[in-house]
Structure 1
C-alpha cells in the first residue's frame, strides 16, 4: 500500500485555525464530501464515535483520527495542516497541527491496519513533519506526504 493510493491531491487542505475538535471533524467531513462524495454529518458522527473510545492524538503535534464507515468502499485518506495548533487531548498533551484522517469500510481489518501503520510511520519521521510545517500549499503538502513512497520503491 502506498500513500498515493489512499490520499488524493484534493484530499489535502491548509487551514489557518479551527475552534474545536468537533469543528475540525466537520472540516474533515466537508473535505470527505468534496473528495469522496460522503455525507459530512455521517463522517463527523463516525469520527466522534471512534474518538469516544480514546483520543487519536499520537503526540508531537500529530493526530490520526480514523473511523470505519459502511459507505466507504476502500480505505480513504484526508490531510489537514493547521497554521494554529489545536488542543486535541493528545497522549503528550501537546496541541496538534498535522491531522491525517483515515476512513475505512466496515470490514477492512487488515487493510485499515496497514493504512494506519503507513500513515503513522510517515508522520513519525521528524524530517517529514518539519517539511509539512514549513509549507502551506496543498499540492506541496501532498508531494511531501507521498514522496517517501517513491524513494522507498527505488
Structure 2
C-alpha cells in the first residue's frame, strides 16, 4: 500500500490556525467531503466518537485521527498542516501541527489497519516531519508525503 493510493493532492491543506481540536475535526470532515465526497457531518461525528475512546495525538506534534464511514468504498486520507499548533491531548502533551486523518469503509478491517500503520511509520520519521513543517504549499506537502515512500520502496 502506498500513501499515494489513499491520499489525493486535493486532500492536503494548510490552515493558519484552528481554535480547538473540535474545530480541526470539522475541518477534516470538510476536507473529506471536498476530496472524496464523504458526508462531512458523518465524518466529524465518527472522528469525535473515536476520540472519546482515547486521543489520537501520537506525540512529537503528530495526530492520526481515524474513523469508519458508511459512504466510502476504500480507505482514504486527509492531511492538514497547522501553522499554529493546538492542544490535541497527545500522549506526550505536546501541541499538534501535523494531522493525518484516515477514513475507512465500515467493513474495512485489515486495510484500515495497514493504512494506519503506514501513516504512523511515515510520520515517525523526524526528517520528513521537519520537511513538512518547513513548507506551507499543499502540493509540496503532498509530494513530500508521497515521494518519501517511493524512495523507501526503491
TM over 0.5: yes
Alpha-carbon deviation of 1:37? 1.0
Aligned to 1:34: 34
Aligned to 2:21: 21
Gaps of 5+ in 2: none
Q: TM (normalized to structure 1)?
A: 0.98
Alpha-carbon deviation of 1:148? 1.7
CA distance in 1, matches of 2:152, 2:64: 23
Three-state SS of the structure 2 residue aligned to 1:81 is strand
Three-state SS of the structure 1 residue aligned to 2:49 is helix
Where do residues 44-59 of structure 1 align in structure 2 (5 Å cutoff)? Answer: 44-59=44-59
Aligned to 1:63: 63
Deviations 1:70-119 (A, max 9, x none): 11110000000000001000000000000000000111111001000100
CA distance in 2, matches of 1:123, 1:43: 22
Gaps of 5+ in 1: none
CA distance in 2, matches of 1:136, 1:44: 25
Higher strand share goes to which structure? 2
Contact map agreement 2:39 2:71 (CA 8 A) in 1: no
Q: TM (normalized to structure 2)?
A: 0.98
Alpha-carbon deviation of 1:16? 0.3
Where do residues 1-154 of structure 1 align in structure 2 (5 Å cutoff)? Answer: 1-154=1-154
CA distance in 1, matches of 2:60, 2:152: 24
CA distance in 2, matches of 1:98, 1:4: 18
CA distance in 1, matches of 2:62, 2:18: 15
Alpha-carbon deviation of 1:39? 1.5
Contact map agreement 2:135 2:141 (CA 8 A) in 1: yes
Three-state SS of the structure 1 residue aligned to 2:48 is helix
